[in-house]
Chains A and B, each alone.
Chain A
Amino acid sequence: MPEKEYKSEKAVLILHSGDMDKFYSALIIGNGALAMGMEASIYFTFWGLLRLKKGELEKGPLSKMHMLGLGKKMVGNRMKKANVASLEKLMSDYKELGGKIIACEMTMEIMGIKKEELRTEWIDTWGAVGTYIQEAKGASLTLFI
């Protein structure tokens, strides 16, 4: 049986949080959707967009029990023990499987972020709310993280 050439379903996620654990959730769901034959887009906005700055990918705090970095260190060690993939690997897998990244232009304006400060090799589209709505209106799954 040949693999279906068309993709009938789509997952569109908004990543508003820059927290490390929430970034993991977004990339795991995005990769899972792609692995199960869906299309996927992640709209990076606000604190989420900061993670796309060069050198900032793994720098997000934990959303709970960060404890000035101590909690993150402990969770990081547990994750290493459980052999959890790095955000860098999940991001490169996401792109390899055809995942789309949208960067929020208003966030760039508010936070004074220039295009050249971001990992532009990952970003497919620069946009605003209209771009999200356009992506999401035909989606079967959409989440705000």
Chain B
Amino acid sequence: MTEVEIDVRGETCPVPLVECRKALKKASPGDLVLIKGTHPASKKEIPMACEALGLEVLGIEDKEAGKEWEIKIRR
């Protein structure tokens, strides 16, 4: 099991969602994907995409006084 980190801080629609999907596609079942971003809508939409894909979101954390977020997903 490996952990992959994706940094999309500063990126806007649809890049965070697309980079997240690309990372999930490359990962193997059981791998962890950590995605770091700043785009507000993606913080809601990445968990929505995970639900649609049937993947488990392990955590959503706010960083830098709410300016950044981190989402952890198990592939």
Q: Which residues of A contact B (CB under 8 A)?
A: 1-4, 28, 31-32, 34-38, 82-85, 90, 93, 96-97
Contact = CB atoms under 8 A, between A and B. Distances in A.
- Interface of A, helix, strand, loop or mixed by DSSP: loop
Given A90-B14, A93-B22, 20 more contacts: A1-B56, A3-B29, A3-B55, A31-B14, A32-B18, A34-B18, A35-B18, A35-B21, A35-B49, A36-B53, A37-B52, A37-B53, A38-B52, A83-B10, A83-B12, A84-B12, A96-B22, A97-B18, A97-B21, A97-B25
Interface of B: 10-15, 17-18, 20-22, 24-25, 29, 45, 48-49, 52-56, 74-75
B18 A2 contact: no
Residue from A31, A35, A84, A93 having most chain B Cβ neighbours under 10 A: A35
A41 B9 CA distance: 29
The 3 closest A-B pairs by CB, nearest first: A35-B21, A35-B17, A37-B52
Contact of B48 (A28, A36, A38): A36
